[in-house]
Amino acid sequence: MNIPNVLIVPYPVQGHVNPLMNFSQKLVEHGCKITFVNTDFTHKRVMNSMAKQESHDESPMKLVSIPDGLGPDDDRSDVGELSVSILSTMPAMLERLIEDIHLNGGNKITCIVADVIMGWALEVGSKLGIKGVLFWTASATMFALQYNIFTLIEDGIIDSDGKCITFH
């Protein structure tokens, strides 16, 4: 039986990369191989922070990168611009990466775990016959709040701007 090779796709900011990196390490402990996909910009930062650690070519976790579509001097703190660029650039790049992994005799991708903000990665996987799941990087409390916003509005707890409605 082949060892599962899970492709991980985080949103390229620290608060999303770190939880998915921790999750990836747990999957490795349970016998999975990991292909961790960062943007080129984030990949360089991760590799610089890991420069002092030894590199192992046979490591079960392979760190790879694809372009986010922004130039080297563009402001990646502009989340709107970054997100638009990611959506217009990264799906085709991810598809090409997966195809290259499969063509070059690498351990085929068996599953995709995508940050919930990077849900388009599951569409890429589906196109290539790979199943996937979304990963929520924030707290369960935040998920519950966002999941129930419409109910809070319908029940008159908050208005459509998120402001509490005062009861008299």
Which run of H or E residues covers position 52? none
Residue 157 near residue 165 (C-beta atoms within 8 A):
yes
115 part of the active site: yes
Residue 56 CA to residue 64 CA, distance in Å, equals 14
Per-residue H/E/C for 80-115:
HHHHHHHHHHHHHHHHHHHHHHHHCCCCCCCEEEEE
Which residue among the candidates 16, 68, 78, 168 is catalytic per the annotation? Answer: 16
Nearest to 83 by CA among 27, 127, 36, 39: 39
114 CB contacts (<8 Å, ≥6 apart)? 8, 9, 120, 121, 122, 132, 133, 134, 135
Residue 31 near residue 148 (C-beta atoms within 8 A):
no
40 part of the active site: no
Which residue among the candidates 57, 68, 115, 161 is catalytic per the annotation? Answer: 115
Active site positions, annotated? 16, 115
